Amino acid sequence: MRTNYILVDFENVQPSDLNNPAQVPVKVMVFVGEHQQKISLELAASLQKLGEKAEYIRMTGRGQNALDFHIAFWIGKISVQDPQSYFHIVSKDKGFDPLIAHLKSQKILAHRIEQLSDIRILSATPKMSHSERVSAITAFLQSRGNARPRRRQTLRNSISSYFSNTLEEAELDKIIQTMLSKKLISIKDEVVTYSLPEDVLNTPLDAKS
């Protein structure tokens, strides 16, 4: 199971605490500005529970975007040491987005969220059964409407992303196979057609994405 690296831009976002479900592999790195002196007691306590899986990194020196460069450096270093890593940058700074686009072009998994609660794996049931996963992804796809994945591989990627890229390849295939057997979806020439419960969008979607 891949490790989720949570990189907190503490100059930009000050979370109150961190919920880490048991057996979810995470590493939390809180990047602190040179002159930031305080964090909440709740956050300190939740990070302390993580032991060696959490650390503070204080920025050295000052300057525009200095903390951003620190985060970029650590992503580069970790991605070499752990090629299967997944990076969650917690920041409201959209300046990270070009970096994330470049990382993705290099097959490095990363995204930016504005609060810890946006990281699904932190609130997901750690021992969710296969049937519960199918139910969860079905509800998610219902909520997507016309923005649903239109091809098999895109659907597979969406399922993996929904579970924060923690599922094994075999489980991803099993979820799609179960959806096929339950006739929630059908696939022809790699194009996905949906027949979800109470679904009014049963017509085939085009195959452009």
* Sign of the dihedral through C-alpha 165, 168, 169, 172: negative
Alpha helices (H) along the chain: 41-50, 66-81, 97-105, 120-123, 130-144, 152-162, 169-181
Residue of higher predicted confidence among 34 and 129:
129
What pLDDT was estimated at residue 201? 36
Mean pLDDT of 38-46: 77
Average pLDDT value for residue range 108-119: 84
Average pLDDT over residues 128-144: 84
Is the pLDDT at 11 greater than 80? The verdict is: yes
Query: Residue 188: pLDDT band by 50, 70, 90 thresholds?
Result: very high
Which has the closest alpha carbon to 43: 1, 90, 112, 78?
Answer: 90
Per-residue pLDDT band for 89 (boundaries 50, 70, 90) equals very high
Q: 10 vs 29, 51, 83, 101, 143, CA distance in Å?
A: 10, 19, 25, 22, 32
- Return the SS3 of 60: coil
What does the DSSP assignment read for 6-42?
Answer: EEEETTT---S-----TT--EEEEEEE-TT-----HH
209 or 145, which is more confident? 145
Sign of CA dihedral 66, 69, 74, 77: negative
- Residue 81 in this model has a pLDDT that exceeds 90: yes
Q: How far apart are CA 176 and CA 85, in angstroms?
A: 24
CA Rg value for the chain:
19
CA separation for the pair 61, 72 (Å, rounded): 16
pLDDT at 202 over 90: no
**What is the reported pTM?**
0.60
Q: What per-residue confidence (pLDDT) applies to 208?
A: 41
Angstrom distances, CA of residue 37 to CA of 11, 34, 40, 58: 11, 8, 11, 10
What CATH number was assigned to the domain covering residues 130-194? 1.10.10
176 to 50, 82, 114, 141, 152: CA distances (angstroms): 34, 28, 30, 13, 9
CB burial class (10 A; 0-12, 13-18, 19+) of residue 119? buried
For residues 147-153, give the mean pLDDT: 90
In which region does residue 9 sit, left (phi positive, over 0), alpha (psi from -120 to 50) or beta (all else)? beta
Please state, for a pLDDT cut of 90, what percent of the chain lies above it: 32
Residue 203: the pLDDT is 33
Per domain, the residue ranges of the chain are 4-123, 130-194
**Confidence at residue 122, expressed as pLDDT on a 0 to 100 scale:** 67
